[in-house]
Amino acid sequence: MAKVKFDCLPTMVGTMPQTNAKEACEMVLKYLKDVPAWPQLPKRSYLENMYVQVSEGFPGITVEEGKVFVDRNKDIETPLERLYSAYLENNFYKFPISKDYAAGLHQFLIYKDLNVQAVKGQIVGPVTWGMTVADNDGKAIAYDDVLGDACAKLLKLKVSWMEEELRQISKNTIIFVDEPYLTSLGSSFFALNKEKVLTLIGEVFSGIRGLKGIHCCGNSDWSFILQTGADILSFDAYNYASSLALYLQDVKKFISIGGVVAWGIVPNEEESLKKESAASLQDRLEEAMAPFTRKGSDIPFKELKSQSLLTPSCTLSNLSIEAAKTALELLNGLSDRMRRK
């Protein structure tokens, strides 16, 4: 991969607390001028829940308030044929994310005259979606050979459509595939093998033309996650910085070939936000970076800083609007301090 220098520019994971799409976009564009991301608004509608948002067009999918599942009593074969036909033709226009399911995205696409370095989108990953959405019997669709495969193909079409729309704003695109379920990798209740996980994620990544990011907001096997082919590793550095430091050689190799680390260093909890300042977060970030830049690691601080993005630790949708504003202000202030260093 070619090295991309972000030099600690700020961006975000994606979700925001607003119910008004225009207000959410205006806040994003005020604070994330260089790498804005379209805002996902789960408080506006259950349809913007990360598991529901991509569900349109999936065979047998049923959405009820507070629940999304595959109803096997419905016709599965006809929509499955439609999905595979679109997949084979790479006709992603047949599987858009509609305005009802992503008001923030459609509002964001109105702003076509932005002067930005890149534009960011996000989508739930096939492992997390496949392990969360179940059928009538409560069996996760990831364990069904047909539906598990269809899940990854649907998400490939969705992400290709999304990216094509975002390219109207900027040809430089970043798409994060959100895979919180990878924190369960290797546990007794996670029966997918690693080869299957890589295949599913690789399918979705193959639909992305720009930079591919993977976001996991808990403790995980970062060595394995770096094998997915992601260009950007996004993680919760506020709470789990030490977990990444255990994989020094893997991160060193990732950086050396042009990989970018998105440090989720701004907390997404209101009580934690009250305790922090841009200066305190700078200390925390530099402490998180230290294991990779100290003597013997062979990663110069300047190089790591250059190949870094800064983000909140995860979703902002659980905050009040005022607290989300505070988080983005801290993020901006921290970015300014790091870029001047």
Dihedral through CA 117, CA 123, CA 128, CA 130, nearest 10?
-150
The fold of the 9-340 domain, in CATH, is TIM Barrel (3.20.20)
d(CA 43, CA 181): 22
Work out whether strand 211-216 and strand 173-178 pair parallel, antiparallel, or are unpaired: parallel
Output the CA torsion sign for 67, 155, 142, 200.
Answer: negative
Domain ranges of the chain: 9-340
CB within 8 A of 55, min separation 6: which ones? 61, 63, 68, 101, 133
Nearest-Å Rg of the Cα atoms of the chain is 19
pLDDT at 296: 65
Closest CA to 212 of 254, 151, 184: 254
Output the CA torsion sign for 204, 217, 16, 113.
Answer: negative
What residues of the chain score a pLDDT lower than 50? none
pLDDT at 1: 61
